[in-house]
Amino acid sequence: MMQYGSSYVKSFNEPFECATYETDLEILRNLIEKGDPRAHYELGYLYEKGIGLPNDYSKAVCWYRSAAELGSAEAQLRLGLMYSKYDCMLTTPQTINHRIAFNLFYRSAVQENAAAENQLGNMYSSGVGVERDHHEAIYWYRRAAIQGNPDSHFRLSKIYKNAVGVKKNIVMAYIFEVLCSSHGNHEMNLQDSCNKLSLDQTLKAFAIAKSWRVGNSLPSYDI
């Protein structure tokens, strides 16, 4: 029994488990005829990875585009990434267009795609593809962070530590550092923040971080 393992499968938890690729492809084609955006995205993924089909990046892009037009948040994210940075397989330096990328990320983010929300935060933070706005960046980082996006936890830790658009708050920085490290990011320098906190603050912040669960309101700590 075969399972693809694409973003489609991970997002919807409905993997095609069929005896042959031919059967899977027939299922996909039937879904495509019904206008299923997920099936359009999946077929693009198969062409990109060369799974059961000849490796064909141009066809992959075409199917990603059709999926995005049908509302697939995954396809909108994938195309946004392609337009925002050079991908030697799917794009050329000439096709990079940050404004198009921003629009694609936004369409995906309003569907609560955490990775797209994080990308919007990055664009607002850097001023690439849109006018720099730290408050908007924080808004999108927080939306992604609520869903457990580790990159957004990392970004928020830096924002609170360096007072970017918010009041400096080392306790909050430490809370997000702990959350980020819980995802396996061993590059976080927890000790640096600890050295700037009292023992009581460190213990309370650590307890807050460890008790937080994905989907809950983000932790807060006023100083």
pLDDT digits (tens, 9 = 90+) for 140-151: 999 999 999 999
**Closest-CA residue to 159 (of 147, 172, 150, 143):** 172
Q: Residue 213's pLDDT is what?
A: 96
Domain ranges of the chain: 1-82
**What is the per-residue pLDDT for 23?**
76
Long-range contacts from 11-20, C-beta under 8 angstroms, 24+ separation: 11/74, 12/38
Q: Are the C-beta atoms of 9 and 24 separated by less than 8 Å? A: no
Over residues 52-110, the pLDDT tens digits come to 889 898 899 999 999 999 999 999 999 999 888 866 666 677 678 999 999 999 999 99
pLDDT in tens, 172-217: 999 999 999 888 765 677 888 889 999 999 999 999 999 999 999 9
pLDDT in tens, 11-24: 333 444 444 567 78
Tell me, rounded to whole angstroms, the distance of Cα 151 from its chain centroid.
Answer: 8
Domain made up of 1-82: CATH architecture = Alpha Horseshoe (1.25)
Dihedral sign, Cα of residue 69, residue 73, residue 76, residue 82:
negative
